[in-house]
């Protein structure tokens, strides 16, 4: 039941991200809407699983194990995707390396690693794929980040800084690339079931705190992703949209 | 005797809703820095008490019973200020109403309740700003400080009139600021967080709101002085290039707000 404008049939998506969950859900959502999907991450096993799900949707898929903190590897990966599919219509950046500890205990190497994986990978992918999208005069870039791009939580300095960096990159690229028919948007997830449900005692407290009184489902992120990837959103760029059950709205 | 540094010496300030709470504290704060104060609010006893306390500090004070919902009352309040104080430099749009605006289902809110909430919290600021602005333009300077709320930036459940009106106050600030930026009129907005004003209220006020400060990053509720200092800064020459600003003074409340405790549990960096 995909409205015509939201149909991604014939489109090529590149899902680039070292995220335990999001790259798979993002890729499956895009595949269900008709896109062929290439997966890129360091963990080859994880993206092969994700590719398997896409194949079950009947879409073409490809996995390219890549360390996205390395610009040369990213360029090689993009060349390989181009050789296979001939174009890239949709780039989804979905990195989520977590680290939570008091700021003063965060080491130099941890800080650098957090920014490398969560922020610099996005820089490399946007550079390599952006060049191609500009040639195509069309493209969609969607950065999957967290509501913590805009709010602070204690013990999350490196993560918040990296996510905030991706958000601001989103807001710059949309202006630089809008004249090339490329839209750049970000999705901020709140408390989602796959990533946050831990059975820990604070779970009840968190539920009480979320206005809709439940965690979000990854599929609910997927539907927004498909919308932003579709031709329905040519005039829609530079936005940061939350899938958060109104956590970001309440006081 | 004024005990401050004379930051506002020779200035005249109107503070609406200045009989109680934050308005009163801001009035006394400005008075200590030398400003003459006009207290404009509905409750005669309360505004006269504030005026008396201002005079005890030193500056002149005028208590003018005013309902900011009524533009005629506002206009004559401003005229009387200019006539009796000989000038006007600062307007603090502080009058607001929270109590008497009972939370109820949306479909039970009457037209009267809606208009009361919007007119007091938003239209009052319009009435007062309109009444002073020509004077500010003619004299080539002026300061308007609007008191909004974090409720104007986020949605608190059931908080229809107050939250909607305060959001309006925030953007009204920006529009005033850009419209009169070249007239040397600075217009800024303060969004106080949870400020404990209960000790300033003339009647018993509910303290239920002030039970649990653990959700406020600084770990305490605000005190009226927190707002007074900021209002003083925005009323003074120190803020001459600052206009259209929104100053949250909330103990960090709006900076967080995605986690019930404000803390993330410690998570080790795990790559695979």
**Domain contains A251:** no
Q: Quick count: other Cβ atoms within 10 Å of Cβ B98? A: 16
List active site positions of A: 159
Q: Quick count: other Cβ atoms within 10 Å of Cβ A108? A: 7
If one counts the domains in chain A, the total is 1
Fold of B12-255: Rossmann fold (3.40.50)
Query: Is B86 exposed, middle or buried, given 0-12, 13-18 or 19+ CB atoms closer than 10 A?
Result: exposed
End-to-end CA gap in chain A: 36
pLDDT of residue A242: 93
**For all residues of chain A together, what is the average pLDDT?**
92
Q: Quick count: other Cβ atoms within 10 Å of Cβ A226? A: 24
**Domain contains A24:** yes
Q: Can you tell me the ipTM of this complex?
A: 0.73
Q: Quick count: other Cβ atoms within 10 Å of Cβ A5? A: 11
Question: What is the CATH classification number for the domain harbouring A236?
Answer: 3.40.50.720
| pLDDT single digits (tens) B189-225 | 999 988 887 665 544 444 445 556 667 778 888 888 8
| pLDDT single digits (tens) B112-170 | 999 999 999 999 999 999 999 999 999 999 999 999 999 999 988 888 999 999 999 99
Q: Where are the domains of chain B?
A: 12-255
**Domain contains A42:** yes
Query: B110, B100 in Cβ contact below 8 A?
Result: no
Report, as an integer, the average pLDDT of A180-191: 94
Task: Using CA coordinates, name the residue in chain A closest to B155.
Answer: A250
Report, as an integer, the average pLDDT of A144-149: 95
Interface test with chain A among B150, B166, B258, B266, by most A beta carbons within 10 Å: B258
Q: Kindly report the pTM of this predicted structure.
A: 0.84
- Give the closest of B156, B258, B264 to A247, CB-based: B258
Phi-psi region for residue B34, left (φ > 0), alpha (ψ -120 to 50) or beta?
A: left
Structural domain including A72 reads 4-243
| pLDDT single digits (tens) B170-188 | 999 999 999 999 999 999 9
Higher pLDDT, A214 or B83: B83
Rg of chain B taking only CA atoms, in angstroms = 19
- Provide the edge-to-edge strand list for the sheet that holds A61-65: A61-65, A36-41, A12-16, A90-93, A139-146, A182-189, A240-243
Interface test with chain B among A49, A167, A251, by most B beta carbons within 10 Å: A251
Give chain A positions within 8 Å (CB) of B270: 98
Query: Which of these, B58, B65, B66, B52, lies nearest to B30 by C-alpha position?
Result: B58
pLDDT of residue B205: 45
**Domain contains A74:** yes
Q: What is the signed CA dihedral for A78, A80, A85, A90, rounded to 10 degrees? A: -20
pLDDT of residue A214: 86
pLDDT reading at B258 higher than 80 = no
- Give the closest of B155, B262, B268 to A154, CB-based: B262
């Amino acid at each position: 039941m995909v409205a015509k404008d939201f149909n991604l049939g014939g489109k090529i998506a590149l899902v680039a991200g070292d995220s335990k969950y999001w790259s798979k859900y993002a890729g499956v959502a895009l595949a269900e809407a008709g896109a062929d999907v290439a997966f890129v991450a360091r963990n080859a096993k994880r993206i092969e699983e994700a590719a398997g799900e896409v194949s079950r949707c009947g879409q073409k898929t490809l996995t390219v194990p890549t360390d996205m903190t390395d610009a040369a590897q990213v360029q090689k990966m993009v060349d390989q995707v181009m050789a296979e599919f001939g174009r890239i219509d949709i780039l989804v950046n979905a990195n989520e390396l977590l680290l939570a500890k008091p700021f003063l205990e965060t080491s130099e190497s941890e800080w650098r690693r957090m920014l490398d994986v969560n922020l610099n990978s996005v820089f490399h992918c946007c550079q390599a794929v952006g060049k191609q999208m500009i040639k195509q005069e069309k493209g969609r870039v969607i950065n999957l980040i967290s509501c913590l791009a805009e709010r602070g939580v204690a013990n999350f300095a490196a993560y918040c800084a990296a996510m905030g960096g991706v958000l601001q990159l989103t807001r710059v690229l949309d202006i630089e690339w809008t004249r090339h028919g490329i839209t750049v948007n970000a999705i901020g997830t709140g408390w989602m079931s796959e990533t946050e449900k831990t059975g820990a005692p604070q779970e009840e407290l968190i539920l009480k705190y979320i206005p809709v009184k439940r965690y979000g489902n990854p599929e609910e992120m997927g539907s927004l992703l498909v919308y932003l990837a579709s031709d329905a959103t040519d005039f829609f760029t530079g936005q940061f949209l939350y899938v958060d059950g109104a956590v970001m709205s309440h006081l | 005797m004024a005990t401050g540094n004379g930051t506002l010496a020779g200035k005249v300030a109107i503070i609406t809703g200045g009989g109680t709470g934050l308005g009163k504290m801001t009035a006394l704060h400005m008075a200590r820095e030398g400003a003459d104060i006009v207290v404009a609010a509905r409750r005669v006893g309360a505004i006269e008490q504030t005026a008396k306390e201002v005079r005890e500090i030193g500056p002149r004070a005028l208590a003018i019973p005013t309902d900011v919902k009524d533009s005629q009352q506002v206009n004559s309040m401003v005229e009387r200020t200019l006539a009796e104080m000989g000038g006007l430099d600062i307007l603090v749009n502080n009058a607001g109403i929270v109590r008497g605006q009972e939370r109820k289902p949306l479909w039970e809110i009457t037209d009267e309740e809606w208009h009361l909430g919007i007119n007091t919290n938003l239209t009052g600021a319009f009435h007062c700003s309109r009444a002073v602005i020509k004077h500010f333009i003619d004299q080539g300077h002026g300061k308007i400080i609007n008191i909004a709320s974090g409720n104007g930036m986020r949605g608190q459940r059931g908080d229809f009139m107050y939250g909607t009106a305060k959001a309006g106050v925030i953007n009204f600030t920006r529009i005033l600021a850009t419209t009169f930026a070249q007239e040397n009129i600075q217009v800024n907005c303060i969004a106080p967080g949870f400020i404990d004003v209960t000790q300033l209220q003339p009647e018993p006020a509910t303290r239920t709101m002030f039970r649990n400060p653990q959700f406020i990053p600084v770990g305490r509720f605000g005190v009226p002085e927190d707002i007074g200092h900021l209002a003083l800064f925005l009323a003074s020459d120190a803020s001459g290039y600052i206009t259209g600003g929104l100053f949250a003074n909330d103990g960090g409340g709006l900076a967080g707000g995605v986690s019930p405790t404000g803390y993330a549990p410690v998570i080790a960096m795990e790559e695979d």
